[in-house]
Amino acid sequence: MGGLRNYLQRAMAPRAVVALSRLPRTPWAARKRVELYFAYDDPYAAVALPGLLRIVHARGAPLSLYPLVERGIAGDPAAEQRRAYAIMDANRLAQRDGRRLSRKLPLTAGECAFLAAWTEAARHDTGSADFAAAVLEKLWFNSTGGVPREACAQLHRVHLHRDPPPDEAPWRQALARNARRLRRKGHWESPAARVGGAWYFAHERLPQIDARLAALRR
């Protein structure tokens, strides 16, 4: 029996190595891709995206944005309290960089739905991430009251070089797919970053995201 085992090990091991070498490998750029699921009504997204952009640019990592209208846990009885706390906590995080939110009250998903639609419509545009970051900056650091639609439209023209879509309806199904994709992959909230199969809350874990991207390059 020992002789048979030795024979099989000698015969099969080299074949296994050759077979494994011929398996398709995930390209390095694909493994490094960062997926960010975020909502415009989430102040944490405004804190997270600028730093995330600096990281992906420095690491040469592709970034895919998945704007959300639906997020969180359905039927969460503490949803309103969480929204109010998010503003206070995001303000605390922003103050680490010497900044302060201009808003004191939450925004609703419905108020920001058109911005998610505009971002989804620009999915394949190179300026989409810069547009999203500029809008989040405008919403949470440089405005109060209602969502400043015309100011956001001007940011669309600056970063995407055209007028925004006149109607958000064509993009509603795509936005719903973003929410389903987020849950199917194992998360539920904004701003959630997926890097090399691992999940991070982007507003809290930028150093860990950077370290993950560095490790994936090895």
CATH of the domain at 53: 3.40.30.10
pLDDT digits (tens, 9 = 90+) for 23-34: 344 454 566 899
Portion of the chain with pLDDT greater than 90, in percent: 82
Domain containing 126 equals: 31-216
Residue 15 lies in a domain: no
Q: Are 59 and 217 in contact (CB under 8 A)?
A: yes
Whether residue 181 has pLDDT greater than 90: yes
Contacts of 133 (CB under 8 A, 6+ apart): 49, 50, 53
Residue 155 lies in a domain: yes
Number of folded domains that form the chain: 1
